[in-house]
Structure 1
Amino acid sequence: MTRRLKLMTGLSTLAAVSALTLAGCGGEGEGEVDGEQGHDMPAAAGEGETEGGDIAVSDVGESAGGESEGGSVSADPATDDVAYLHLLGLTRGHLIAFHELYNSGAIEMALMHVKHPKSELYTSLAPAFSARKKPGLADELSNLVDASNAGADVEEPYAAVVRGLNAHTPDTSVSNILLAVSEIVRTAADEFDIGVEDDGMISNAHEYQDAYGFLIASREILSGVRTTDINATEAVNLAQEQIDLALSSFESLTVEKTEGSASTLYGAAARIEIAGRGL
């Protein structure tokens, strides 16, 4: 199966599930969120080390959108919460992959992931931080890179980056959070598609590991959403189920072969996007 065919599979899934998912997620677009909602970004997958940093969720409304064909967010992260959360989520995903690999002893693999948030993503995030009057994370990321390169204990510099990410998250709607998560999952699907051959052999471990990190980051984003709106709750629950399904494609970050499929991840991204647009 070629990459183009896999991409088309994801797009076909989006069309096929639209009516059903919208019906289940309040597709009228009228539900509002009452009370406060939070979004926690924990220190590592499954460790529950979140230190503050809730995303306050405003009333559900229309997303700013701004997504280009192929799933990448083209809007300006300085002003668009979906694009901004997408980049924050990718940063968090790289760090999740780094943290798990580093602690498992796969140091060389881990070092590749810790360098990417600053070298690849920070160029886009820095102007957004400035426009949003946020201090940025340059020092925290540098300290983490230095500690990891030295083979030192990375827990404190890692926790400092997580605290920084939490402090930089915006007040936004459940709809925007879901749309951002859908983009993170779609990016994970792209990475999985690059890293895994048609027969399931992993030809690019780094991209495969990125995909895992992005999915864990998405799951943790969703786990912190709090809302009393029934439509928003159902949409978030659906998205969480889709993330769990996508994660079934991963047994370990260092395996040589997987039974998973990029189409599973593309399908999850499509369903989550529909859920977000239905609010």
Structure 2
Amino acid sequence: MTRRLKLMTSLSTIAAVSALSLAGCGGEGEGEGAEGESEGTPVAASGESEGLSAESEGEGESEGGEGESEGAVASGDPATDDIEYLRLLGLVRGHLVAFYELYQGGETTMALMHVKHPESELYASLAPAIAARGLSGFADELTTLANAAEVGGEVTEPYSAVITQLNSHAPGSSVAQQLLSISQIVRTAGDEFDIGVEDNGSISNAHEYQDAYGFLIASREILSGISTTDINAVEAIEMAQEQIALALGVFESLTASETEGEASTLYGAAARIEIAARGLM
């Protein structure tokens, strides 16, 4: 194990304490489903906060998925801040993951709520940044996917087309920046899980619970696409994958009515991934 990753591991206690603190602040009215909610600054090692956006989803989302404004408020400008830009791309991907798995499982009504969200809300937040970066965007691909789903058609090909476009729009960021964005996506998953699951383990908001799952799968896929030969970066990526695997362990099926999992597991994963990212800086 490299010296740097040993440092990350030694800081895991800090991450765990921070995660429990975050979980204690959760609950109804917070996270992606709370109107005007501000997520705050992610946990940072050694009190650092540079380079992280104090994101705010502020969706105002009800169980029916209406009134969303996810990603509307954030401290970083995605036009120039790669971490914030990658975060928004990851959230789009997460919603699409939830959509695809639900749709393929025959849960069309629930699936449609997820595919309409990134098309109408998240893409609106991304569009100015995409234009500022001189990119073509993927609005047409999102629309094609949503239209196919609405008529009950085959969605595998249009889904793959959107994911390909998402990948092509990612900037050539450092591994540290990519891990920082993933830590924020995983933290958002914790917020979503905290909203969707009651203290007794019953799932009161399936949409938020499904969002949390989608964000974690999207993070895992993004990690798998990072290529590096730096041993420190490789170990940091492997550790992040392990943390996401642990976080995914709190989920039952996407249509479950209850779970024994807790949001603190996701918050802990987010904190440890952030520590790993900062160890590369």
TM-score, with structure 1 as normaliser: 0.77
* Counterpart-to-counterpart distance in 1, 2:274 and 2:230: 18
Task: Name the CA shift for 1:79/1:2 in 2 (closer, same or farther; >3 Å).
Answer: closer
Task: Name the CA shift for 1:14/1:74 in 2 (closer, same or farther; >3 Å).
Answer: closer
Task: Name the CA shift for 1:197/1:3 in 2 (closer, same or farther; >3 Å).
Answer: farther
The aligned residue for residue 99 of structure 2 is 98
| Letter matched to residue 127 of structure 1 | P
Deviation for aligned residue 1:229: 1.2
Identity %: 65
Task: Name the CA shift for 1:111/1:189 in 2 (closer, same or farther; >3 Å).
Answer: same
The aligned residue for residue 157 of structure 2 is 156
The residue correspondences of 1:49-60 to structure 2 (distance < 5 A) are none
* Counterpart-to-counterpart distance in 2, 1:108 and 1:188: 22
SS of alignment partner, residue 260 of structure 1: coil
* Counterpart-to-counterpart distance in 1, 2:53 and 2:22: 20
Task: Name the CA shift for 1:14/1:65 in 2 (closer, same or farther; >3 Å).
Answer: closer
The aligned residue for residue 185 of structure 2 is 184
The aligned residue for residue 89 of structure 1 is 90
Across the aligned residues of Structure 1 and Structure 2, the Cα RMSD in angstroms comes to 2.6
The aligned residue for residue 170 of structure 1 is 171
Deviation for aligned residue 1:4: 6.6
Task: Name the CA shift for 1:70/1:151 in 2 (closer, same or farther; >3 Å).
Answer: closer
CA-to-aligned-CA distance 1:3-45 (integer Å, 9 cap, x gap): 872449xx9x957xx57xxxxxxxxxxxxxxxxxxxxxxxxxx
* Unaligned runs of at least 5 residues, structure 2: 1-19, 28-39, 58-70
- 1:5 matched to 2:24? The reply is yes
TM-score, with structure 2 as normaliser: 0.77
* Counterpart-to-counterpart distance in 1, 2:104 and 2:26: 34
The aligned residue for residue 235 of structure 1 is 236
The aligned residue for residue 54 of structure 2 is 68
Q: Is the 8 A contact 1:14 1:267 kept in 2?
A: no
Task: Name the CA shift for 1:249/1:164 in 2 (closer, same or farther; >3 Å).
Answer: same
* Unaligned runs of at least 5 residues, structure 1: 20-62
Deviation for aligned residue 1:66: 3.7
The aligned residue for residue 278 of structure 2 is 277
| Letter matched to residue 67 of structure 1 | S
